[in-house]
Amino acid sequence: MDKETILVVEDEVGIRDIIQMYLRKKGYEVMVAQDGRQAIEKIRIKNPQLILLDIEMPGIDGFEVCREIRKKLTVPIIFLSVRRTTLDKVKSFELGADDYLTKPFEFEELEARIKANIRRYRSDVLGGSNILKFDELEINLNNYMCYLDGEQVTLSTKEMELLILLAKNPNQVWSQEQLYDHIWKLDATGNVQTVKVHISNLRKKLEKDQANPKFIKTVRGFGYLFAQ
């Protein structure tokens, strides 16, 4: 089996070098980039299986790099940053990051996060294609279309984002606050009640029996889950 390639995007040479040495010792092929522009150039040459991305870099910061990468690749992106605020973490996930690890970190934890994200990526995307299928419900992650019994269901952008988040994490209970933080910006107009409205709209479009939903269930006192 070919070595998995990891792109390390880090402007501090000391941190970049020690991460590179550690990962190579663990058997990974490593590409490095010292800034955002170099990272974007690197992925034009070769697609990595995972990207470790710093936020604070000269020129293009990590957030903008993440946004650009997501236009081309679906590979896992793990942010490595000294920033610890919830706002930074939420922004990272909104831009398409898969994980977030604060500096300083233990290399054993970094390796565990890398393995988990690559394993999930191979299972969800490479192994299972980009289609989530649950009985009569099908969600195409390539074109963001949803089908029920073979018929296309028209969903708004937020409805689709909410459905994908729930469906990619089946049987996980999400509170309204968690869903709101993942899908809506923290400074967006409105409040967590918008989650309830969108859940209701999704049920109207996807559930044959709204009083007894099959897919999006309410866990009283806690929130919602996508049943599998």
- The pLDDT tens digits of the residues spanning 93-115 come to 888 888 899 999 999 999 999 99
What DSSP designation does 4 have?
Answer: P
Question: Rounded mean pLDDT of the chain?
Answer: 88
| 161 contacts 183 by C-beta, under 8 angstroms | yes
Q: Tell me, what's the pLDDT at 187?
A: 45
User: Could you tell me the pLDDT band of residue 175, with boundaries at 50, 70 and 90?
Assistant: very high
Q: Tell me, what's the pLDDT at 190?
A: 59
Average pLDDT, stretch 206-223?
93
* CA–centroid distance for 173 within its chain: 17
Average pLDDT, stretch 173-200?
81
| 79 contacts 55 by C-beta, under 8 angstroms | yes
Residue 83: closest CA among 101, 67, 99: 101
Average pLDDT, stretch 40-59?
90
Please report the domains of the chain, with CATH numbers, ordered by start residue.
Answer: 5-127 (3.40.50.2300), 131-226 (1.10.10.10)
Q: Tell me, what's the pLDDT at 33?
A: 94
The Cα-based distances of 27 to 49, 51, 110, 121 in angstroms read: 13, 16, 14, 19
Q: Give the span between the Cα atoms of 37 and 41, in whole angstroms.
A: 6
Q: Which token pair is 65?
A: 């790099």
Average pLDDT, stretch 161-178?
91
* CA–centroid distance for 208 within its chain: 29
